[in-house]
A = this chain, B = another copy of it.
Amino acid sequence: MAEPADPPAAADVPVVRVGLLGCGNVGAALVGLVERRAAAIAGRSGVRLEVSRIAVRSLTRDRGVEVADGVLTRDAAAVAVDPEVDLVVEVIGGIEPARELTLAALAAGKPVVSANKELLANHGGELATAAEAAGVDLLFEAAVAGGIPIIRPLRESLAGEDIDRVMGIVNGTTNFILTRMTEEGADYADALAEAQGLGYAERDPTADVEGYDAGAKAAIIASLAFGQRVVAGDVYHEGIAGLTAADIDSATRLGHVIKLLAVCERVDGPDGPEVAVRVHPAMVPLQHPLAGVRDSFNAVFVEGAAVGDLMFYGRGAGGDPTASAVLGDVVDAAVNLRKGTFATVGIEGRARIRAIDEQRSPFYVSIDVEDRPGVLRSIAEVFERNQVSIRSLEQDGAGSDARIVLITHTAREADLQATVSELRDLPAVHRVGSVVRVVGDEG
């Protein structure tokens, strides 16, 4: 809708000057948003935002935003500590120089708003300590699931909640690819090519399709959900490149849909609570709210002891949605700065991480077999020997072309892997196909 004309700044509304580090998609969208929304924000929050410095790599590139003379600079280090900057927004991405710039800004007493998942997932503890020492905010809503408010609800709304598990569709590229494979029968390569054509996937799609991007977000979510630090390296991940049209078909026939999920669980360990955190394709039952999250949308599903099931859904990427999340943090940090207060993160120490071998879930397994007398019994024996219990099983085809598709009850990863390895040695087994974890209807 049309914006009302910007009224003249009220003389008594203090200005908070924002220094922007980086001006790509998100940065440029933020500059535009601040310009359009500054008056409305001043009215509601009592601070008037002004982007006073922008550090960029190239002074000549057209970003589609208009800025006053002298605002653009190539000297990011100077912006981070500029006395004329009250608050710093970091949207450079990557670890260095973003880390050094963020630390410098915090040390100079400036609140920092970051959209940088990689930095937060690898150095979040160091940055939080620096922010607390300086007595300023370090906010990062935009680092996970773009425009969806999930960091603030985890930090604040659910502050009293005992969270059991968080599952997220937090990578839009892979969700787009899987949606195309499910709804149009596309194979993986074609769906990936379509995603690349639309600009959803990079030319080198590794970070998305192998689960690294989702893994960094999982580390941040797990840290906040469970109050103990989890870093990117703690997260087990498996990508979607191995999924076939046949797997998608099987999922559909079984009343499921395959999604790339980030799964963060709190589990009881021998020496106290542990955190299990992993990214992998998962079979989600059609009636589960996550199953309806299509195309490049993201969603985070939270299971709490008191609150029950919650889901947060929206755009996980894109300049405008991500800039909206950054702007919410900027307003919050600006108001806090004026009040001389700041938010604490509430993460105490490192989480004890459960090894992937010890994690548990039900599994979907497809096995290409020679259909001859006794084959089913020999397969069942392998599962039984490894203490993996079969919940349901069906056989397709006959003769040398048969395929057995089954779903297990909840089992240990290590037991399932041992099962698969023994299955491969059976003479009647041609091939063990995809192994996909099942969530949402654990039994």
Contact = CB atoms under 8 A, between A and B. Distances in A.
Given A159-B44, A160-B33, A312-B312, A147 B307 contact: yes
Given A41-B159, A45-B159, A162-B36, A148 B310 contact: yes
A348 interface: yes
B307 A324 contact: yes
B311 A311 contact: yes
A150 to B, nearest CB: 9
Nearest to A265: B1
Nearest to A152: B157
Contact of A309 (B40, B160, B268, B315): B315
A270 to B, nearest CB: 13
Contact of A305 (B1, B159, B307, B346): B1
Contact of A323 (B41, B152, B306, B339): B306
A129 B428 CA distance: 77
Interface in A313-334: 313-315, 318, 320-321, 323-325, 327-328, 330-332
Interface of A is mostly: mixed
A93 interface: no
Contacts of A328: 156-161
A198 interface: no
Contact of A147 (B273, B308, B336): B308
Contact of A331 (B160, B320, B339, B348): B160
B310 A159 contact: no
A118 to B, nearest CB: 22
A327 B161 contact: yes
Interface string A116-159: 00000000000000000000000001000001110011001111
Interface of A: 1-4, 29, 33-34, 36-37, 40-41, 43-46, 141, 147-149, 152-153, 156-162, 164, 227, 266-268, 272-273, 289, 292, 304-315, 318, 320-321, 323-325, 327-328, 330-332, 335-336, 339-341, 344, 346-348
- 6 residue pairs, one from A and one from B, having the closest CB atoms: A160-B327, A149-B157, A44-B346, A307-B324, A310-B314, A159-B331
Given A156-B331, A307-B321, 14 more contacts: A1-B273, A2-B268, A33-B306, A37-B160, A37-B161, A46-B344, A149-B153, A160-B327, A289-B292, A289-B313, A307-B325, A309-B315, A311-B313, A335-B344
